Every structure is written in structure tokens, then in C-alpha cells.
Amino acid sequence: MSISGEPSFRESVDLMFNRASKLMDLSPGLEQKIRVCNSTYTVRFGVRLRGKIETFTGYRSVHSEHMEPVKGGIRYALSVHQDEVEALAALMTYKCALVETPFGGSKGGLCVDPRAWDEHELELITRRFAYELIKRDLIHPAQNVPAPDMGTGEREMAWIADQYARMNTTDINAKACVTGKPPHAGGIQGRVEATGRGVQYALREFFRHKDDMGKAGLTGSLDGKRVIVQGLGNVGYHAAKFLSQEDGVKVIAVIERDGALLNPKGLDIEDVRQWMNSHDGLLAGYPHATHVANGAAVLEEACDILIPAAMEGVIHLGNAERIKAPLIIEAANGPITYGADEILRRKGCVIIPDMYANAGGVTVSYFEWVKNLSHIRFGRMQRRAEEARSRLLVEELERLSSDKGLGWTLADDFKERFLTGSDELALVRSGLDDTMRTAYQAMREVWHSRQDVEDLRVAAYIVSISRVAQTYRSKGL
Ligand code: NAD
């Protein structure tokens, strides 16, 4: 139990797991084997910075090796600790199983405030942390493949990949040791936006099912829905941008570290982000909205969809009763505590759970890993062949039209779109969309077909746990 009287993040994940496992036919031994975290490695290392040795503490947890490599991001924050890393590693196991990426679950973290160090210093810190993990095979293309998380991004992943290559000069698959790299360093198009894009695809899928929307008391489409987003970082920014630019939602508030911006007419997300980029990551002073200092209170404002996309534990026993959103999509990992989840369910709020909602990142990481192992860009072999076949069809239709005097004309924009073969970004988005739809349908099937399954979270756990159990059973466990 934490000081607030609520379970810790890891305990919260375990309690949610237990709600589902109670409804399943698992032997007690197997249930425990799936739930517990296999191992957590703690490392303390020194780096000479600004004339003195600074000591840093880092973690890499492996929750489940039922499939290898294991996969999970590396987080940089001062708040990182073992309990949090283990909770996040467990969520990775369930997430990978739910979206059918062939990985076990892992997670890493380093206690560091990335804003306190300059770029060169961060590179030294990252390379040293990576060195410690690489020499224990805790970063390895076949065993453990990290990715970005809070406080890390493409830059850190490129340093890690380079560090691995320096220590494994003959490993032809070295680039596959980490995902989320920049495209010029072995990354894949669409990875940076992937988690936010996945949130958008998840909501689109939810809104395709009228009876699911009905459970949240929502009607119509995404167009015009009022949305509140917490955290305008990688995940929150991309989700808010795509949903507002492509689906017509109105982002009526964004919540950040220094408070919140409110505008009932809808915020221009790109403009807000540019303001943050040029004002030390702060919202205050932004001219086209009202700034309120108490950001957390804005979670309680009326809206149609709440998107917590910052960090864990932000909806808790202290505020759950006052949350008005009928639909919450957990873009962050663990934003709702176990106790808050109970309160919200009682109030009739529908929660699209984290292990599904933010799985876009690991899905596109999987595509990147496959690309690295196959050493070829997606679409390179097929794109022009696809275009040539489409051109054949268009030319034949035009010939028929003129020979027979039918007077058909194909619209220019149709022709352009039809004649453009799929490049890597188009293929990544298609694979992600397919993954998000398929996984939602698997959860939904359990949610609707079983009387004892009240919510999407339990349904998600049931799908994941049964897949992990199946793998263990086929290994003879
Ligand atoms: P990020 O560091 O890019 O962004 C986090 C944002 O939240 C920052 O803008 C930060 O200022 C803001 N923030 C921090 N504390 C806050 C607070 N108390 N109130 C309001 N805003 C606050 O991180 P990210 O990669 O976008 O990750 C966000 C969440 O999504 C985390 O829970 C992470 O585990 C999860 N996630 C990320 C990915 C990914 O691909 N990056 C994938 C899956 C899940």
C-alpha cells in the first residue's frame, strides 16, 4: 500500500489481473507463474559529469519470457522505481499478447531528470546505462529489445543502437536490438506517431460499434465530440492532433505540468505544441485559451472523451467520484488506480484499457524489428509492381471508354490515389489499423459473450492471459 492508502502501481496491475484470472479456468500454479515478474536487474553506475562523478540508478525488469525477445520501453524520470518498472513490464506482457506481437514483457527505467542535463551529458549517461544492460544481454536483438517511453525518444534509441553495434561488431542483426530509432538509423516510418495513431484507431473502432457507444451513453460519430487530453508529449500530442485534424473532435482542454489550457471552441493542437516548444515546455501565456494553474482539476471537467496520456495514477480514490467523462481511453500506462477503476465502473463510465489503447507503439516497434531482421524497407519490392498493375487497369478502362464511345472519365484525384503504390508509411498505418481493429474485436467478443465480464479491461486481461497460458502449456508447463 502507498501512503495514499491505495495499492502501489504494481499491486494495482496485479489486482486487475486477479479480477480476470478469477473468471478463468487456470491452475493456481500457472496463474501465479503468469502474474509474477520473473526478474528485475538493478544497476548503479557512475558517469563523470561537470567535474565530478554522478551515480545513477537504473532498472530492467523482465516480467515474462514465454516468448522471446522480451520487449518494453525505457523511461527517464526522477520518479522511476522498481515497483513502477515491474508494473510496466507486466503490462507489456499482456499488451503484446493482446495485439499478437511475438514478445514477452519487459520494461526499463533510469532515475534521471532528462531536462537537467545537456545533450552530450545525456548521451554519456545513456551509453553507460546501455553498456551495463548490453553486457548482461538485457539489450539484445534475440533476447531483450527496448523502445522509447516517457522522457526518451528517437535520439536515445539511436545512441543505444550504436552502443550495441560497437560492442557487437559482427552481429549482422545489431540494429534490431532496440526499436524507435530514427528512420535514417534503422528506424521505420510512422514509429514516432504510432502510439498516438493507435489511440486514434482504437477510438475509431470503438465508434464503429453502436452498442459499445451506447454503454457510455454516446451517440453519433467522433465528429464534434469534446475531448480533454492530459500530457501533450509524444502520445498525447499525436493522439490529439490526429483526432482533431482528421476526425473532427474538439480538444476543449489540454493539461500539462504547469496547469491546463481551456477553450470550449477547441484548441489548435499544432499551435499549442509550437508554443510549448518555444516556451520551455510550458502552457502559461498561450494567447488563444484560458490558462488555469490547477491542471489536475481539469480532469474533472465535463467532456465526452477523457484521454490521460501523461503518467500513471492520475485518476485515483481522491478524484474518481468527480470525473464526468463517460468514456476514458487510457493512452498512458496505468492512469487509473484499482480503486478509481471500481468507482468509475460503478458510475457507468466506459474505460478503454491501457494495454489495448496504447499498444500502437509496440505494434509498430514489432514492424521495425521485423524490418531490421529482414534488412529491407517495407514496400521496396512491391510498390512499383502494384502501381504498374493499377496503371494497366486504368489504361484499359480509358481505352474501352474511348473505343466504345462510352464517355467515361476517371476523376484526377481518384486516378492519382489509385495509381500510387503503398510506401512504408502506408503499410505501417495499414498494419497498425488492422492490429487495433482485430484486438478490439477479440476484447469485445469476450465482453459481450460472457455475463460475468463487466468491462473491457477484464475482457482484455482474459484474452491476454489465455494466450500467455496457451504458450506456457505448449511448452509443457
Ligand atoms: P512524454 O515524456 O513524451 O510525454 C509526457 C507528457 O506528459 C509531457 O509533455 C509531460 O510534460 C507531461 N506530464 C508529465 N507529468 C504530468 C502531469 N503530472 N500532469 C500533466 N502532464 C504531465 O511521454 P510519452 O512517451 O508520451 O508517454 C506518456 C505515457 O504513455 C506514459 O504512461 C507511457 O508509459 C505511455 N506510453 C508511451 C509509449 C510511447 O511510444 N512513447 C507507448 C506506450 C505507452
Q: For atom 32 of ligand 1, which residue has the closest CA?
A: 332
For 327-364, letters b (16+ CB in 10 Å) and e give: bbbbbbbbbbbbbbbebbbeeebbbbbbbbbbbbbbbb
Q: What angle do CA 106, 18, 462 make, to 5 degrees?
A: 75
pLDDT value, residue 476: 81
Q: Environment class of residue 220 by beta-carbon count within 10 Å: exposed (0-12), middle (13-18) or buried (19+)?
A: exposed
Q: What is the mean pLDDT of residues 222-230?
A: 98
Class of domain 194-360: alpha beta
Q: Which three cell numbers stand for residue 371?
A: 524490418
pLDDT value, residue 369: 98
Look-up of cell digits 495513431: 197
Q: For atom 8 of ligand 1, which residue has the closest CA?
A: 233
Q: Point out the ligand 1 atom lying closest to the alpha carbon of residue 231.
A: 7
Contact at 8 Å (CB) between 139 and 70?
no
DSSP collapsed to 3 states, the chain: CCCCCCCCHHHHHHHHHHHHHCCCCCCHHHHHHHHCCCEEEEEEEEEEECCEEEEEEEEEEEEECCCCCEEEEEEEECCCCHHHHHHHHHHHHHHHHHCCCCCEEEEEEEECCHHHCCHHHHHHHHHHHHHHHHCCCCCECCCEEEEECCCCCHHHHHHHHHHHHHHCCCCCCHHHHCCCCCHHHCCCCCCCCHHHHHHHHHHHHHCCCHHHHHHCCCCCCCCCCEEEEECCCHHHHHHHHHHHHHCCCEEEEEEECCEEEECCCCCCHHHHHHHHHCCCCCCCCCCCCEEECCHHHHCCCCCCEEEECCCCCCECCCCHHHCCCCEEECCCCCCECHHHHHHHHHCCCEEECHHHHCCHHHHHHHHHHHHHHHCCCCCCCCHHHHHHHHHHHHHHHHHHHHHCCCCCCCCHHHHHHHCCCCCHHHHHHHHHHHHHHHHHHHHHHHHHHCCCCCCHHHHHHHHHHHHHHHHHHHCCC
> Rounded to the nearest whole angstrom, what is the distance from the C-alpha of residue 109 to the centroid of ligand 1?
14
Question: Which of 361, 103, 91 minimizes the C-alpha distance to 233?
Answer: 361
Q: What is the mean pLDDT of residues 153-182?
A: 98
Confidence of residue 28 (pLDDT cuts 50, 70, 90): confident
Q: Rounded to whole angstroms, what are the CA distances from 374 to 186, 213, 379?
A: 11, 41, 12
Q: Residues near ligand 1 with C-beta < 6 Å?
A: 148-151, 195, 230-236, 255-257, 281, 295, 309-311, 331-333, 358, 361
> Which residue of 13, 311, 356, 362 sits with most ligand 1 atoms within 8 Å of its CB, as the best mutation to test the pocket?
311
> Rounded to the nearest whole angstrom, what is the distance from the C-alpha of residue 328 to the centroid of ligand 1?
16
Q: What is the mean pLDDT of residues 315-335?
A: 98
> Which residue of 71, 96, 150, 277 sits with most ligand 1 atoms within 8 Å of its CB, as the best mutation to test the pocket?
150
Residues designated as active site: 107
Q: What is the mean pLDDT of residues 266-270?
A: 98
Nearest-angstrom CA–CA distance, 364 and 197: 10
Q: Point out the ligand 1 atom lying closest to the alpha carbon of residue 296.
A: 19
Q: Point out the ligand 1 atom lying closest to the alpha carbon of residue 151.
A: 2
Nearest-angstrom CA–CA distance, 209 and 219: 10
> Rounded to the nearest whole angstrom, what is the distance from the C-alpha of residue 148 to the centroid of ligand 1?
11
pLDDT digits (tens, 9 = 90+) for 449-462: 999 999 999 999 99
Q: For atom 39 of ligand 1, which residue has the closest CA?
A: 149
CATH hierarchy code of domain 39-186: 3.40.50.10860
Q: Point out the ligand 1 atom lying closest to the alpha carbon of residue 365.
A: 40
> Rounded to the nearest whole angstrom, what is the distance from the C-alpha of residue 312 to the centroid of ligand 1?
9
Q: For atom 18 of ligand 1, which residue has the closest CA?
A: 257
Nearest-angstrom CA–CA distance, 64 and 38: 6
Residue 79, pLDDT > 60, answer yes
pLDDT value, residue 5: 83
Q: Point out the ligand 1 atom lying closest to the alpha carbon of residue 312.
A: 32
- In angstroms, how far is the first alpha carbon of the chain from the final one? 32
Contact at 8 Å (CB) between 252 and 299?
no
190 φψ region: left (φ > 0), alpha (ψ -120 to 50), beta (else): left
Residue 69, pLDDT > 70, answer yes
Whether cis (ω within 30° of 0) applies to the bond prior to 146 is no
Residue 262, pLDDT > 70, answer yes
> Rounded to the nearest whole angstrom, what is the distance from the C-alpha of residue 88 to the centroid of ligand 1?
13
Domain locations in the chain as residue ranges:
39-186, 194-360
Confidence of residue 407 (pLDDT cuts 50, 70, 90): confident
Q: Point out the ligand 1 atom lying closest to the alpha carbon of residue 180.
A: 40
Residue 419, pLDDT > 80, answer yes
Nearest-angstrom CA–CA distance, 145 and 316: 32
Q: For atom 42 of ligand 1, which residue has the closest CA?
A: 361
Q: For atom 2 of ligand 1, which residue has the closest CA?
A: 150
> Rounded to the nearest whole angstrom, what is the distance from the C-alpha of residue 332 to the centroid of ligand 1?
6
Q: Environment class of residue 320 by beta-carbon count within 10 Å: exposed (0-12), middle (13-18) or buried (19+)?
A: buried
Q: For atom 37 of ligand 1, which residue has the closest CA?
A: 149
Indicate if 194-360 has the same CATH topology as 39-186: yes
Q: Point out the ligand 1 atom lying closest to the alpha carbon of residue 281.
A: 11
Residue 1, pLDDT > 80, answer no
Q: For atom 41 of ligand 1, which residue has the closest CA?
A: 149
Confidence of residue 2 (pLDDT cuts 50, 70, 90): low
Nearest-angstrom CA–CA distance, 130 and 136: 10
For 174-208, letters b (16+ CB in 10 Å) and e give: bbbbbbbbbbeebbbbbbbbbbbbbbbbbbbbbbe
> Rounded to the nearest whole angstrom, what is the distance from the C-alpha of residue 437 to the centroid of ligand 1?
24
Residue 30, pLDDT > 60, answer yes
> Rounded to the nearest whole angstrom, what is the distance from the C-alpha of residue 234 to the centroid of ligand 1?
7
> Which residue of 9, 99, 107, 234 sits with most ligand 1 atoms within 8 Å of its CB, as the best mutation to test the pocket?
234
